[in-house]
Structure 1
């Protein structure tokens, strides 16, 4: 059976502390991010774009995670 959900609906089902939206077409699991560049993240060697609409929120999210790890 094929279920069709909007990506915003899928995001609401996922635990917010482990997943972040980086593009209108992509939600990524934080623990699988290998590298972060200005316009993309790399997961399993695949570059996933970070759109300008989500970049600031994504970088804030990553910064908050880094601060929590430092404490």
Structure 2
């Protein structure tokens, strides 16, 4: 069975020990910075609405258990 690639001794550009010389490989990706356009600010209405819904549900469940404990229901 043979190795899937060329023999390590026959690969051009390898230094002893298997490393490559500086400049033999290109950079991983082009460097860009910043955004292509300004990002819109997310609305705060939806998170506040969900918070109110959760608080109302928690209060309703708490009230149910308080009324159940006092045998009102």
Q: Which structure's residues are more often strand, by fraction? A: 1
Q: Which protein is bigger by CA-based radius of gyration? A: 2
State the TM-score, normalized to the length of structure 1. Answer: 0.25
State the TM-score, normalized to the length of structure 2. Answer: 0.24
Q: Which has the higher contact order (CA 8 A, sep 6+)?
A: 1
